[in-house]
Amino acid sequence: MKMQTQNRKTEHLKIACSENVQFREKTTGLEKIGFKGIDLEYKTLPEINKKEISLQAEFLGKKFSAPIIVEAITGGTEEARQINRDIAGACEELGIGMGLGSMRAMIENPALKETYFVRDIAPKIFLAGNIGAAQLLQYPIEKIEKAIEEIKADALAIHLNAAQEALQKEGDTNFKGVLNAIEKISAKLSKPVYVKEVGHGIGFSVAKKLAKTKIKAIDVAGAGGTSWTGIDSLRGNKELGETFWDYGIATAESIVQCRKAFKKKIIASGGIRTGLDIAKAIALGADMAGIALPVLKAQQEAGKEGVKKYLEKIIEELRIAMFLSGAKSLKELKKVKITKSR
């Protein structure tokens, strides 16, 4: 079991870096193609000074220089160690947050802790540990609490990945009792807990149920970016994978549905590729935004400096989008009109 988890993580990394794992037909809903899609109202007379725009955000008790979290990517393999350290170093320098990959491998094999540990180079940033929803049924809360303490994380992200597990050749599809487990751990864990998808979206009905628990945030991780049903179909279930490659709720729609049902913090992720995407997501109702695959590719190409350069570009794009919308702060950005056309 220990080696199976590690090998799976290595395969996931290789496929994500070498194959086209994007959704094929379904998009995030944030794009603007020709006259179709959504856009921010353009204020050609913004009446603000771009240099005075503030991107500062707060999430689960931590301050951010910009409303960005590098989403959970990996952990539990030797390759993961350098990836996580490069990303953490860039996030520390930029003052933004980071999520770590599932701690399942580390819980199964404590020797793998070092592939997750980044606090020595990133002491100040928001850092989220991560565990799968199905694993909540397998591990006592005390064991998860210990893992969070060992990597010195600020919060626990619980990932919902039913679609991925269903296509994974060794997938765990027992989700019976997961909602109750989320309710228990969110009430008992010493750190804040939030729930995230992995790239197929969270809809109104699930968000409404999650709103009754003690979780502090929802990360929608909508469809339109990386397809995890696609990644796991490439590992050995290609026929079924073709059917479910584009399965899920588009990111923009997931933001809107979750905001209607959930009044706490919302992270927009799933195909976020530009600062303009982030601005649109916040105007739709999100508070923060998450990015994963482009960050991984930037790290593979140029290490920490590649990650930093990419994220600096995203941050500047967000600032420009706010300037062109006349928004001096994220609070004002939330009030910017979204225009839609078909």
Among left, alpha and beta (phi > 0; psi -120 to 50; other), residue 193 is beta
Q: What local confidence, expressed as pLDDT, does residue 30 receive?
A: 93
Return d(Cα 58, Cα 154) in angstroms, integer: 13
Q: What local confidence, expressed as pLDDT, does residue 339 receive?
A: 87
The two three-digit tokens of residue 224, written as one number: 């339109």
pLDDT at 282 over 60: yes
Strand arrangement of the beta sheet that strand 36-40 belongs to? 32-33, 36-40, 338-341
CB 72 within 8 A of CB 102: yes
Q: Output the pTM of the full model.
A: 0.95
Return d(Cα 240, Cα 267) in angstroms, integer: 30
Return d(Cα 226, Cα 252) in angstroms, integer: 15
pLDDT at 268 over 60: yes
Query: Average pLDDT, stretch 259-268?
Result: 98
Q: What domains sit in the chain, N to C, each tagged with a CATH number?
A: 2-341 (3.20.20.70)
CB 228 within 8 A of CB 197: no
Q: What local confidence, expressed as pLDDT, does residue 233 receive?
A: 82
pLDDT at 8 over 80: no
Query: Average pLDDT, stretch 219-229?
Result: 95
pLDDT digits (tens, 9 = 90+) for 120-170: 999 999 999 999 999 999 999 999 999 999 999 999 999 999 999 999 878
Contacts of 239 (CB under 8 A, 6+ apart): none
Return d(Cα 96, Cα 240) in angstroms, integer: 38
- Distance set, CA 33 to CA 21, 199, 247, 256 (Å): 21, 22, 22, 20
pLDDT, the chain, mean: 94
Contacts of 74 (CB under 8 A, 6+ apart): 9, 12, 13, 80, 83, 84, 101, 296
pLDDT at 271 over 80: yes
